Amino acid sequence: MICVENLVKRFGSVTAVDHISFAVERGEIFAFLGPNGAGKTTTIKMLTTLLQPDGGTLEIGGLDPRKRAHQVRQLFGIVFQDPSLDGELTAEENMELHGIFFHVPRKLRIARTEELLKLFDLWEKRGQQVKFFSGGMKRRLEIARALLHTPKILFLDEPTLGLDPQTRNQMWTQVRAMNQAEQVTVFLTTHYMDEAERIAQRLAIIDHGKIIAQGSPQQLKEQTGTASLEEAFLALTGSQIRDETAGSADQLRQFAKMWSKR
Amino acid sequence: MSAVYILWLRELRRYVRSRAQIVASLGQPMLYLVALGFGLGPVFRKAGRGSYLQFVAPGVIAMTVLFSSVLSGMGLLWDRQFGFLKETLVAPVPRVLIMLGRMLGSATVAVIQGLLVVVVCFIAGFRLQSLAIAPLALVFMLLIAFLFSALGTAIGSVLEDIQGFQLVMNFLVLPIFFLSGALFPLDNLPALLAAVTRIDPLSYGVDGLRTILIGTTHFGVALDAAVLASIGAILLVVGSYLFSKIQV
């Protein structure tokens, strides 16, 4: 479903993604792990047509995202690291907008909106403006929205960041239900190793733009001789802390938050 | 095309829900009408130019449409901050349609704001020259709204920073307003000021509205419409180009 070979992305003199190769099968749940700044989000952006790679080959559902961006976009749903809902609109209106963007026929859109909002426990709140939602509700709505156009692949970029264990647990149950019911391939990134170990059938670990290990959680533990995925992760990537500087977009987001609270 | 419609509808929904903002945005035009309209009225009349309220009302209407359309075009900046922009950029919809939908929405909202101010003008004592051609004013409001929504969108596409917002307000939007002849007649101006008013697109918008609403003209209504339409078209092209270059 996803096939990546020798993918490269450079920003000036920095090689953010350095000749990585991996493949994800249809219906698989695949975790993409790595420390901050390792190249996870850059990879996701290239897979989802938001960023042009500088080298290598890339295939999403057999199509090249560089040449057939619109067809590829129709194939996947994505939940970004940061929220991407319109807070002034209601949950239902956010779904409506997405459905129209993704050319879902009206009848199907209405039926599927109901089905998904019910699955993600948001049906009762469908008429409420999203700005009044809790963090967990917003995340669930984002996932429901990403699934609205029946994508073949669901990209989840750190979807559980900042959520409590109950919410995380419930969310993964729901994602897994969709994965099984519709054979949706799931490509996720996360910092919670226990989560990755429990959810993912296979995973890849990326550091400094290179994939340093891939396989099932079991294989990685055996390879490093460790008892948990967390230990395996630290054994592979080292325990040095990676500091990221906030980009201008992050700074502005902070500013916007201050403003919106006035 | 339905993507254009739903983005247009989104702008309207957001507008209708921001009631406090609607009321707040009427404050400034009212102040101009009351403080300037009545404050400068006696001097204006003594100079033999008739009623200043009559004169300034079309300018205040144009101002409202200008501010509302630039601001809502620049709403792009907020969408970037709150993340919604990403949702539109991964959609299998050509970007030019996304930009068009937003712009039409912004322009519609601006015209509605303008119409509210028309009502305020009537309450303040403004009277039309002719009821029959008054609906033509709507065409000019649309032209102004379209032009400045395109400008706002173009600016919103390149600005990444909220600090830049003040810069745009103080060095672009306010000069466009103050140098447009919204507040003063364009004849007998010093040469430099006259030249500046001639390159300010809003001058043509104000003049067009004034021609239709009170029957005095400076450039002529045909030239007014032609200038607004062509600058609007240019900005639409520039805006689409800049919008298509946005990266998230």
B101 vs A contacts (CB less than 8 Å):
none
Answer whether A89 sits within 8 Å of B14, measured CB to CB: yes
Q: Is A256 on the interface with B (CB under 8 A)?
A: yes
CA A260 vs CA A59, A87, A90, B27, B78: distances in Å: 40, 11, 18, 21, 10
Instruction: Enumerate residues 123 to 182 of chain A having a beta carbon within 8 A of any beta carbon in chain B.
Output: 129
Cβ–Cβ below 8 Å for B82 and A83: yes
E-strand stretches of chain A: 2-11, 14-24, 29-33, 55-60, 76-79, 153-157, 185-189, 202-207, 210-215
Closest CA in chain B for residue A256: B81
Residues of chain B with Cβ-Cβ distance to A253 below 8 Å are: 81-82
| Shortest Cα distance, chain B CAs vs residue A223, angstroms | 37
Alpha-carbon distance of B135 to A68, in angstroms, equals 46
Give the end-to-end CA distance of chain A in Å, rounded to a whole number: 46
pLDDT computed for residue A254 by the predictor: 63
Answer whether A1's CB lies under 8 Å from A26's CB.
yes
Q: What is the mean pLDDT of residues A212-230?
A: 87
Q: State whether B2 and A100 contact (CB < 8 Å).
A: yes
pLDDT score for B180: 94
Rounded Cα distance between A25 and A186, Å, is 10
Distance CA B235, CA B248 (A): 23
Cβ separation B92–A101 shorter than 8 A: yes
Partner-chain residue, chosen from B6, B81, B161, that has the shortest CB–CB distance to A100: B6
The closest alpha carbon to A93, from B114, B14, B247, B106, belongs to B14
Q: How many whole angstroms separate alpha carbon B13 and alpha carbon A253?
A: 23
Contact A50 B247 (CB under 8 A): yes
Chain B residues bordering chain A (beta-carbon distance below 8 Å): 2-3, 5-7, 10, 13-14, 17-18, 78-94, 160-162, 247-248
Q: What percent of chain A has pLDDT over 70?
A: 92
- Determine contact: A98 vs chain B, CB below 8 A: yes
Would you state the pLDDT for residue A245? 57
Phi, psi of A27 (to 5 degrees): 80, 0
Q: What pTM, to 2 d.p., does this model score? A: 0.88
Q: Please tell me the distance from the alpha carbon of residue A138 to that of residue A158, in angstroms, as a whole number.
A: 14
Question: Does the distance separating the beta carbons of A84 and B86 come in below 8 Å?
Answer: yes
Q: Where are the alpha helices (DSSP H) in chain B?
A: 2-17, 19-31, 39, 41-46, 52-73, 75-82, 84-89, 95-124, 136-158, 163-168, 174-178, 191-199, 201-214, 221-244
Taking the CA atoms of chain A, what radius of gyration do you get in angstroms? 18
Q: For the segment A119-140, what is each residue's pLDDT rounded down to a tens digit?
A: 999 999 999 999 999 989 999 9
- Asked if A88 reaches chain B (Cβ–Cβ under 8 Å), the answer is yes
- Flag if A49 and B17 touch (Cβ within 8 Å): no
Contacts across the A-B interface (CB distance below 8 Å): 89
Residues of A whose CB is below 8 A from B80: 249, 252
| pLDDT surpassing 50 at residue A160 | yes
Q: What is the pLDDT of residue B130?
A: 85
| pLDDT value, residue A249 | 59
Is A113 in CB contact (< 8 Å) with chain B?
no
B84·A74 Cβ contact <8 A: no
Write down the pLDDT at residue A262: 46
B25 and B68 Cβ atoms separated by less than 8 Å: yes
Model confidence at A116: pLDDT above 90: yes
A249 touches chain B (CB under 8 A): yes
Residues of chain B with C-beta less than 8 angstroms from the C-beta of A102: 91-92
Residue of chain B nearest A74, judged by CA positions = B92
Q: Any chain B CB within 8 A of the CB of A82? A: yes
Chain A residue whose CA is closest to B10: A89
**The pLDDT value given to residue A243:** 63
State the pLDDT at residue A194: 86
> Who among B6, B92, B161 is closest to A97 (CB)?
B6
Q: Do B162 and A255 touch (CB under 8 A)?
A: yes
Residues in chain B where the model's pLDDT stays below 50: none
